[in-house]
Structure formats: C-alpha cells, structure tokens
Amino acid sequence: MSSVKGILAAIATPFDEDENLVEAALRGHVRRQLDAGIHGIFALGTNGEFYAQTPAERAEAARIVIDEVGGAVPVVIGAGGPTTKKTVAIAEDAAAAGADALSIITPYFAAASQDEIAAHFRAVAESVDVPVIVYNIPARTGNAVAPATLEKLAEVDNITAVKDSSGNFDTILQYLERTDRGSFDVISGNDSLILWTLIAGGAGGISGIANIYPKTMASIYDLFLAGDPEGARTAQESIRPIRNCLALGNPNTVVKHAANVREFGLGPARAPFNALSDEAKTTIEETVIADVEHGLA
C-alpha cells in the first residue's frame, strides 16, 4: 500500500464487563464498517485503546482484524509505544501479521526533541518493510512532530503518510506544503477537519466517529470525489452534535457509549477511563437518537 485514500475507520476494541476482548464483537464491528463502504480500517489507535492493552492483546486484536478484513480494504495497525525498542517489537509483529501499513505515534510521557523524534521514526521504518504513517497527537503524547521534521521524515522510503490529530488546521497545511502530494499522504485525524483537509489537497481522514456513523463518514469522501462539495459539506457538518459530546468525558468512552446506543456491542472502555455521568449519558443518548432521525447512519 503506497497511499492512504478516503475514510479509514479508527475502530474501537470491544471489551466485555471484565475487560476481556470480545472477538465476535470485534469481527462484527469490522464487518459493519465494510458493509457501510468505509475505505480502510485503522485498528489499535487511540480509539482502539492501544495504550490500555498488553503487546499480546494488541497482537491478538490485530490478527483478528486483518483476518476479518480479508484484503477487502487496507488495514492500518497502530503499533506505537513509549520507547523505540518497544515500538520496533510491536511494529515487527504487526507487519508479520499482515498489516498493510503501520501507524506509529510519537513517543509519549517523556519529552523528546525533534532530533529524537526523527531518529525514533527512522529506526521503526528501517525495522519493517511496510509503509509507516507518522501519527501526530501532541495533546495526548506531549510530543509534536514539527513540519520541518516531517519534511525530513517524508524522504524516508517507507514513511508514506502522516495522520494529524493536533486539531490545528495550520499544521495540516504546513505538512501539505512541505511534502510531495504525489508520494506522501496527509490525513486528518480530526473528524471535523476531514473535508477541509481534502479541499486543501489531503488524502482523507481517519475517523473515530465512524464507530458510530460509518456510512455518513464514508460519504464525506465519496461525495467530495464525485464532485458534490455541498453534499460533502452537509455530511461533514452533520457530525457536529456528536463531536460536541466528546467534551463530556474520555472521548473513547463517549464514542463507545454512543455506538452502544446504536446496539453495536462495543462494551465499556477499560478502567479508569470508563466513567460517564448520568447527565453525560443522557446527552449522548439524546444526540444519537436525534442524529439517526436526521438520517445519520
């Protein structure tokens, strides 16, 4: 896979009440995305609660997803870790499992210089023979990939894309300005910026909201590609109410609760990131009911 185009669903990892992975629910959720016309599957990212799972659990989930997709669409596996050594081990395993590409988050918790960040990504890219996607989410990791650093990383043969979840559109624009749009993909990791990223020349989006409304999210790209910018904008703007709900708690918990309102069976997020107030639950439930009545799917 040399490029990432369209909308990739950043799928949640289903757990039962004892926090065990539910294979049937994971397979069902993957199938739901494929049936909705999603353009790719992104597993074990932030929405997939990679940070709450052991390497063995991540390896099991990756293999289930890859098997269920069966080559129908590209599969990107989140393979990041806090150190280079740990990341290389996870990346090598995911590549061996058959991932089409790997998403590598910046090192987290400890502060890293831009030279250290660049060295980290180069080392991981050299350890595997599949494409590597740089994942920039500084609010979660404390480490941002500067545009100048990304420009250098884009010169590495198998570093082929960046997923930007900073929420700063100017960062996306600078990434686009500093990379070759013919050989390097800039992807929005923020659902609210997908259409605007496409308009600016980006390749698409990796969507957490696809866990709730996969058809709606896929349609943003499909309508844009079909030359219907107004239709794409309508679809893009339709997710604002559920996006506003993300402020009500841990976003993963909000997404899972909203998907469960739709009876998708994703279970809870892992503790301690699994508590929502009764008021928050009611707001999420009312939002989902209203969205579905307005045609979101």
Name the pTM for this structure.
0.96
Q: How far apart are CA 212 and CA 225, in angstroms?
A: 23
Looking at residue 158, its amino acid is N
Structural domains in the chain plus CATH codes: 6-229 (3.20.20.70)
**pLDDT tens digit string along 115-163?**
999 999 999 999 999 999 999 999 999 999 999 999 999 999 999 999 9
Token pair listed for 293: 């009545």
Is 221 considered catalytic here?
Answer: no
Inter-residue contact 269 to 252 (CB < 8 Å): yes
What is the pLDDT at residue 60? 98
C-alpha 282, offset from chain centre: 26
Token pair listed for 279: 């008021």
pLDDT mean by block of 10 residues, the chain; 297 residues: 84 98 98 98 97 96 98 97 97 98 96 98 98 96 97 97 97 97 95 98 98 98 98 98 97 97 98 96 98 98
Q: What is the DSSP string of the chain?
A: -----EEEEEEPPPB-TTS-B-HHHHHHHHHHHHHTT-SEEEESSTTTTGGGS-HHHHHHHHHHHHHHHTTSS-EEEE---SSHHHHHHHHHHHHHHT-SEEEEEPP-SS---HHHHHHHHHHHHHH-SS-EEEEE-HHHHS----HHHHHHHTTSTTEEEEEE-S--HHHHHHHHHHS-TTT-EEEE-SGGGHHHHHHHT--EEEESGGGT-HHHHHHHHHHHHTT-HHHHHHHHHHTHHHHHHGGGS-HHHHHHHHHHHTT----PPPTTS----HHHHHHHHHHHHHHHHTT--
Q: Which candidate in 5, 51, 108, 163 is catalytic?
A: 163
What is the pLDDT at residue 2? 54
Q: How far apart are CA 245 and CA 248, in angstroms?
A: 5
206 marked among binding-site residues: yes
Is 135 considered catalytic here?
Answer: yes
Inter-residue contact 68 to 31 (CB < 8 Å): yes
Looking at residue 218, its amino acid is A
CA distances from 190 to 137, 164, 284 (A): 10, 7, 19
Q: How far apart are CA 8 and CA 89, in angstroms?
A: 24
